[in-house]
DNA sequence: CAGTGGTCTAGACCACGCC
DNA sequence: GCGTGGTCTAGACCACTGT
């Protein structure tokens, strides 16, 4: 147990709680502690390493955040079984993923103008038909090959001109922030499987009825009033959502 | 400012840090603090409410976890701008979503048997072709209507018989845990847009080439060795992934 | 009852940002 | 140098679990 004391360097620039967290993380990953096993009690750890119990608790909190352990009041701290089925898919890595493949990813504006709300947009944004809105169409390309097609609608409260400079890599929430009175605070996205229409096929350069991932996003202000909506079509043959889950190592 | 002291009930069963957290959450949501604004300093809050600085920090940590504030060493704590574009899609709510619509959701086993690894499975599980594996096919139905079709493969290390009882709502990681030597600790899922084959159309009761969401999952043990894989087809006309993002209220 | 984790305190020192 | 958040301590009391 004297060995164990050597694990922690109290005078390191690395926080003690972090060293302790990494120490237990390693021991759990290596199988020294198996799912269901109890960790030593907080007092035991604190005494063994000669540190404060609050510091131990901080380390355990980190482990619990990763889902590697769970605590039970009055009982102890136990190693969790990795849950691999609560899985989330990430969309924010779109550009990163594309770039990681060494491709040049560009957002090209096809169209930006003022329109009168069509029935669908009116319904989505809870406004009257024919209310003035802003309408945008983008194509996202990687090495000149179309990857995704986006159409976006925002309410047009500020009567502010559309600046070219604001259209580079413009996300829906940013468009909404610029042209509406209120601040976007929440958003809803719905992901569906779909197929291209004729028009979409042409823009994406694929055959008609090609499978696509369709994402419809609505952006809301603090009063839950919709202030923008848009849809994005991702070419099913070129784009996938990948996601890793479980006890992932943070250091590799 | 005497009013503010009344916000915190030190003798409540509700922890002080939690009361304080909710207090600031409310004030940020209501717009008393706007994105970019600085919160009072930790010492200021502690003195104002007559509580310890550590307790204040705990409350701020909760806010930071929600992404509502961020801290800067040496500067202060600031209200964040909601990021609505880093969006994740959730698959674990599948059953819940279906049930919330008042439908009865069932997993029906179509087939469970020992097979010899085909080339694809051999590659996916990094084993030799013809190695003995377990093969499962499920259909998930809501009110008797097929919603999803699953095929799953796991390595067959334990030579353990397949128990009917283990096949109720059996996730891939659980199947892997039961029939392999090692514990599943991580998993990879890939989501794609696809179309049904003839066989799949029949099982799902849809026309050929219907759009579907295709999810391929691989389960790994602690040595990153794959121990199971499977694919799930979700009917595109019946299933969507919905996800909310931003500053979500926890209490409504 | 003793032991556990959950909360809280009133200090302390540090590294950092700014003036 | 001063104020900030980040870390850490050595206590304390509580609610809960098991016996």
Q: Nearest CB to B88: which of A34, A89, A234?
A: A89
What pLDDT score does B252 carry? Answer: 38
Structural domain boundaries enclosing B51: 16-79
Residues 6+ apart with CB under 8 A from B184: A82, A84, A246, B173, B176, B177, B219, B220, B221, B227, B228
* A243, part of any domain: no
8 Å CB contact between B173 and A87: no
Same domain, B31 and B101: no
Closest C-alpha among B132, B150, B133 to residue B141: B150
pLDDT computed for residue A171 by the predictor = 83
Give the pairing of strands B76-79 and A226-235: unpaired
Confidence bin at B74 (pLDDT 50/70/90) = very high
Q: Count other C-beta atoms under 10 Å from residue B68's C-beta.
A: 22
pLDDT of res. B84 = 57
* A48 CA from C13 C1′ (Å): 23
Cβ distance A84 to B209 less than 8 Å, yes or no, reads no
Query: A26-69, pLDDT tens digit by residue?
Result: 999 888 998 899 999 999 999 999 999 999 999 999 999 988 99
Q: Do A219 and B84 touch (CB under 8 A)?
A: yes
The model's pLDDT over B24-58, given as tens digits with 9 standing for 90+, comes to 999 998 889 988 999 999 999 999 999 999 999 99
pLDDT in tens, B170-191: 788 888 888 888 888 888 888 8
| pLDDT band with cut points at 50, 70 and 90 for residue B143 | confident
The CATH number given to whatever domain includes residue B117 is 3.40.1410.10
Residues B223-234 have pLDDT tens digits of 889 999 999 999
Mean pLDDT of A67-93: 77
Per-residue pLDDT for A85 more than 60? no
Provide the shortest C-alpha distance from residue A128 to chain B (in Å): 25
Judgement on whether residues B145 and B56 belong to the same structural domain of the protein: no
Average pLDDT on A224-246 reads 86
Determine which of A105-119, A149-163, B61-75, B121-135 has the lowest per-residue pLDDT on average. A149-163
The mean of the pLDDT values for chain A is 85
The CA distance from A222 to the nearest CA of chain B, in Å, is: 7
CA distance A85 to B143: 23
Question: The domain that contains B33 carries what CATH number?
Answer: 1.10.10.10
Chain A: residue nearest B26 by CA? A222
Confidence class for position A252, pLDDT limits 50, 70, 90: very low
User: Which alpha helices (DSSP H) does A183-238 contain, by range?
Assistant: 198-204
Distance of CA A96 to the CA centre of its chain: 12
Provide, in whole angstroms, the distance separating residue A107's CA from nucleotide C18's C1': 39
Instruction: Select the more confidently predicted residue: B132 or B164.
Output: B132
For residues A63 and A107, membership in a common domain is answered with no
Examine the domain organization and report whether B59 and B164 are in the same domain: no
User: What is the C-alpha separation between A169 and A167, in angstroms, rounded?
Assistant: 6
Instruction: Average the pLDDT over B9-25 and give the result.
Output: 93
pLDDT tens per residue across span B86-122: 455 555 556 666 666 666 778 889 999 999 999 999 9
Residue B2 confidence (pLDDT): 46
Residues B227, B203, B165, B186, CA torsion sign:
positive
Look up residue A206 and give its two tokens: 């694929």
Of B82, B184, B246, the CB nearest to A84: B184
How confident is the model over A11-15, as a mean pLDDT? 91
Indicate whether A35 belongs to any domain.
yes
pLDDT > 90? residue A166: no
- Confidence band for A157, pLDDT divided at 50, 70 and 90: confident
Question: Is A108 part of any domain?
Answer: yes
- Does the C-beta of B31 come within 7 A of strand D? no
CB contact under 8 A, A91 and B90: no
Dig out the tokens for B148 from the structure: 């999803």
Say if residue B33 is in the same domain as residue B120. Answer: no
Does the distance separating the beta carbons of B31 and A222 come in below 8 Å? yes
For residue B75, what are the contacts with CB-CB under 8 A and spacing of at least 6?
Answer: none
Q: Do B193 and A193 touch (CB under 8 A)?
A: yes
Closest by Cα among A233, A237, A230 to A214: A233
Identify whether A249 is part of a domain. Answer: no
Proximity of residue B58 CB to strand C below 7 A:
yes
Please, which pLDDT band fits residue B72 given cuts at 50, 70 and 90?
Answer: very high
- Structural domains of chain B, count: 2
Same domain, B108 and B163: yes
Give the SS3 label for residue A200: helix
CA-based nearest distance A93→chain B, Å: 8
**pLDDT at B102 (0 to 100):** 64
What value does the mean pLDDT take over residues A208-232? Answer: 91
Whole-number pLDDT of residue B93: 53
């Amino acid at each position: 147990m004297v060995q164990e004391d050597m694990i922690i360097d109290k005078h390191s620039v690395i926080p003690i709680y972090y060293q302790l967290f990494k120490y237990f993380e390693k021991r759990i990953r290596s199988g020294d502690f198996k799912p269901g096993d109890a960790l030593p009690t907080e007092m035991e750890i604190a005494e063994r390493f000669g540190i404060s119990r609050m510091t131990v608790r901080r380390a355990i909190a980190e482990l619990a955040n990763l889902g590697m352990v769970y605590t039970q009041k009055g009982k102890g701290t136990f190693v969790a079984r990795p849950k691999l089925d609560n899985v989330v898919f990430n969309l924010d890595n779109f550009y990163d993923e594309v770039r990681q493949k060494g491709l040049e990813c560009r957002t090209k504006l096809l169209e930006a103008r003022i329109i009168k709300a069509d029935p669908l947009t009116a319904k989505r944004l809870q406004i009257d038909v024919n209310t003035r809105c802003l309408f945008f169409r983008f194509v996202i390309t990687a090495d000149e090959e179309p990857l995704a097609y986006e159409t976006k609608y925002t309410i047009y409260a500020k009567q502010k001109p559309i600046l070219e400079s604001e259209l580079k890599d413009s996300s829906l929430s940013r468009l909404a922030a610029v042209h509406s009175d209120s601040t976007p605070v929440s958003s809803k996205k719905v992901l569906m499987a779909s197929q291209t229409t004729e028009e979409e096929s042409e823009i994406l350069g694929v055959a008609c009825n090609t499978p696509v991932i369709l994402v419809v996003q609505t952006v809301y202000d603090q009063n839950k009033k919709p202030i923008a909506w848009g849809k994005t079509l991702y070419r099913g043959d070129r784009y996938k959502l990948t996601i890793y889950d479980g006890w992932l190592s943070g250091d590799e």
